[in-house]
Amino acid sequence: MGSSNVAMLSLLLVLYMVFVPSLATVYTVGDTSGWTTGVDYGAWTKDKTFKVGDSLVFNYPTSHTVDEVSSSDYSTCTVGNSITTDNTGATTVSLKTAGTHYFICGVLGHCGNGMKLAVKVESGSPSSSTDKPSTTTPSTTTTSTTKAPVDSSSSWSVSPFMAAVLTWVALSVMVIS
């Protein structure tokens, strides 16, 4: 392997290391406002594109909760049927599957006062971007305190894998030449 090839390989490795972490984005819900009443979360999500592998961080006083709920419970602000719930004050939710995920505060009246968040999650791979309604797959996310087993097959987006494949292809070409 010539020195130019070594340099090229190094460049590829650097690009790979820079590129891969940027694929998973951590979003702080409501930014500096956090998770509270009186915030328009529809406006907060409007300019954002959520992908499988991204995370939501909810920051709030423990007088609130973060509940993942069904589409219908989201629409009607129905509390008590939550899929997952957390009230630690700092809840990280991994978006593991494509589709729309719905979150409300479980404290009576707070959802009606704006504490409702719908996040449309796109598949990490353009070739399999078949978004399904989350109503057919309720247990699609886990909170930081949920003990449900992690679905490893869907928690890892395809793009880092593709980046690794491309790196190896490039490496193979250099070795052959």
Per rule CB under 5 A, count of chain residues that contact Cu ion = 5
Instruction: Kindly indicate which of the ranges 20-28, 63-71, 123-131, 149-157 contains the residues binding Cu ion, using the contact rule CB under 5 A.
Output: 63-71
E strand or H helix that includes residue 91: strand 90-95
Residue 107 interacting with Cu ion (CB under 5 A): yes
Residue 9 interacting with Cu ion (CB under 5 A): no
Helices vs strands, H then E, count in the chain: 5, 9
Residue 84 and residue 98: Cα distance in Å, rounded?
17
**Candidate list 12, 24, 27, 64; residue touching Cu ion; CB under 5 A:** 64
Q: How far is the CB of 62 from Cu ion (least distance, A)?
A: 10
Phi-psi map region of 13: left, alpha, beta (phi>0 left; psi -120 to 50 alpha): alpha
Instruction: Kindly indicate which of the ranges 7-15, 21-29, 88-96, 100-108 contains the residues binding Cu ion, using the contact rule CB under 5 A.
Output: 100-108
**Candidate list 110, 117, 119, 124; residue touching Cu ion; CB under 5 A:** 110
Residue 17 and residue 87: Cα distance in Å, rounded?
35
User: Under a CB-based contact definition with an 8 Å cutoff, are residues 113 and 38 in contact?
Assistant: yes
Residue 116 interacting with Cu ion (CB under 5 A): no
Q: Which residues of the shown chain bind Cu ion in the complex (CB under 5 A)?
A: 64, 105, 107, 110, 115
